[in-house]
Structure 1
Amino acid sequence: MPARAAVRTAAALAVTALAVPLAAAGTAQAAVMPTAEFMWAGDSGDGQTDRQVWYGPVFEDKIDVTASADHRTLRVTITRPGDSWTMDLAAPAGQTLAPGSYANAVKTPEMPDVVLDQPSMFVNGYSGGCSTLTGGFSIKELEFGEGTAVKKIDLSYTQDCDDRDELRGYLTATNVAPPKPVGLTMTVNANGTLSKAGKATVKGTLTCTKPVKVDVGGSARQEQPKVVMGYIRTQVNCVPGKTFTWTSPVTVHTPETDTPFIKSERLAVFGWVSTTDPDTKQYVSVSADKWVNLR
């Protein structure tokens, strides 16, 4: 079986090879994302015939590590299309998980409220099932974050189920705390501008907590006494730590596209800014409204 160091070296070279074109392209750097490796290997006779499988960023596998609120237990989930694993680890009752060896571990109780006086574990994925087991795990490094977050972990494990031969492997992970979604703020200025032709322009500010392209949109409405309505639309390349000004003309769509605005303190503007988070891929949007003075 290849040495653990060899597996990590090959993985690191693969990650480096993938990263070079991205850096050369000059793409924006997103927030630090979780990175992790998980490996299992089985002995001959366990149905896998000396098979070993590695999971990590090269294959875009997802590895999440979460601690219990009291830091006594850990739950690890590893997923890739068509394949999934879980790892449950627990310290004895009254203890918290910390660097060190946890020998003579038994199977994690199926009832979540059951707490044992000895270490427990269960690494489950291939073939499934395991009524009883003996095993152990050794934690080289472990750093908790806020709440149930885990910042860093490095451990190795062995597990011998009653119905198969020994399973062994390792887990390493850093920055495992889930990335926070991008934060956006928006304002609409109280004063807009009006051209001699009756074209209105409004502006405001926005901020972000990650480098993203932000879409700015919204609507504007003015009663003259007839109602004139339009929309605002623009984009801003936002970076954290700076307040950006957005400016957009109001494009009239009701009652006619060439209807002019007039001087007034009663231009009702409802605006929004939105983006797709580069890390979580979630759509994020915030809004703001204002009575705008057109002069």
Structure 2
Amino acid sequence: MPARTATRTAVRTAAALATAATAALAVPLAAAGTAQAAAMPTFEFMWAGDSGDGQTDRQVWYAPVYDDKIDVTASADHRTLRVTVTRPGDSWTMDLAAPAGQTLAPGTYADAVKTPEMPGVVLDRPSMFVNGYKGGCSALTGGFTIKELEFGAGTAVKKIDLSYAQDCDDRDELRGYLTATDVAPPKPVALAMTVNAGGKLAKDGKATVNGTLTCTKPVKVDVGGSARQEQPKVVQGFIRTQVNCVPGKTFTWTSPVTVHTPETDTPFIKSERLAVFGWVSTTDPDTNQYVSVSADKWVKLR
């Protein structure tokens, strides 16, 4: 078996094993009713060049098994696509466009020219540019064949399968393929919370407040905030707890109020005027973004 065929087979076998392992782990969790995180992209991108990056007859594959990342975004009118494939120290971009007045769809786009460098320029013929080389490409001839293409909402792309070939005027021919699924960007996690109007006051003057929270992804949610009561003097404290949240359920959070001013042993008293400001926060497991929402309430301590 040729070396390049063996490499490609190994990549696909590893990807298949990773997918199978993920599916096997997901079955018992789904059966138990636990919500799963958003599907993450699976893909394989390959380029081959007669003199790619100065190395004769070089071929390189990219896939999640190498911890490579992909982003596929369409224009609002679905006429153009931008693909970005990255790994540490290496990145490739692919720009594809249908002729003016058309949308990208399965089919062959022959006689393509280089993507215009000036934003907003629309050509009456297909255009493309696959680039990861060190150096420029002033003009090219090429083409691409889209076997499958499924758009998501807005500029998202859910599935794509294509092959391409391009010949820059100052490079040898570059050719390869791209397959990707679940490349629609995952929706960020959404949180919601309430602070209940009734709190509990213990005999020793310690207060406990509570509320509810919901989420759209399975996440660990931090609950925090502050409470303030004006007696003859002001008593203030903080609330803090955690909740393991899953979508589709409303969770109750409960937290003692830890007094920090004026003195830690100052008791709360029965009152309808405990001002509670609360917040819930988490880090989105798919986008790694910090998300936080807040709520406030006058709480009656009884």
Indicate the TM-score class for this superposition, using the shorter chain for normalisation.
over 0.9
1:6: how far off?
A: 2.6
Select which of 163, 175, 179 maps to 2:182: 175
Structure 2 letter corresponding to 1:84: S
1:112: how far off?
A: 2.0
Alignment of 1:1-295 (within 5 A): 1-2=4-5, 6=9, 9-13=12-16, 15-16=18-19, 19=22, 29-44=36-51, 47-295=54-302
1:203: how far off?
A: 0.3
Aligned counterparts of 1:142 and 1:7: Cα–Cα separation in 2: 26
Q: Decide whether aligned partners of structure 1 residues 46 and 125 sit closer, same or farther in structure 2, where only a CA change above 3 A counts.
A: closer
1:35: how far off?
A: 2.1
* % identity of equivalent residues: 84
1:73: how far off?
A: 0.7
Structure 2 letter corresponding to 1:126: Y
The answer to whether the 8 Å contact 1:15/1:57 transfers is no
Per-residue Cα deviation, 1:36-56 (whole angstroms, up to 9, x for no partner): 221101125872211111111
Output the aligned Cα RMSD: 2.3
1:249: how far off?
A: 0.8
1:22: how far off?
A: 6.9
Q: 258-267 vs 56-65, which deviates more? A: 56-65
| Residues paired across the two proteins, number | 295
The answer to whether the 8 Å contact 2:191/2:213 transfers is yes
- Secondary structure at the residue paired with 2:73? strand
Q: 123-132 vs 203-212, which deviates more? A: 123-132
Aligned counterparts of 2:52 and 2:253: Cα–Cα separation in 1: 66
The answer to whether the 8 Å contact 1:206/1:244 transfers is yes
Aligned counterparts of 1:152 and 1:20: Cα–Cα separation in 2: 19
Structure 1 residue runs of 5 or longer lacking an equivalent are none
Q: What is the TM-score with the length of structure 2 in the denominator?
A: 0.91
1:17: how far off?
A: 8.1
Q: Decide whether aligned partners of structure 1 residues 54 and 18 sit closer, same or farther in structure 2, where only a CA change above 3 A counts.
A: farther
Aligned counterparts of 1:172 and 1:197: Cα–Cα separation in 2: 65
The answer to whether the 8 Å contact 1:14/1:58 transfers is no
Per-residue Cα deviation, 1:63-89 (whole angstroms, up to 9, x for no partner): 111111111111111111111111010
1:93: how far off?
A: 1.1
Per-residue Cα deviation, 1:209-240 (whole angstroms, up to 9, x for no partner): 00001011111000112001111111100000
Aligned counterparts of 1:185 and 1:42: Cα–Cα separation in 2: 52
The answer to whether the 8 Å contact 2:52/2:133 transfers is no
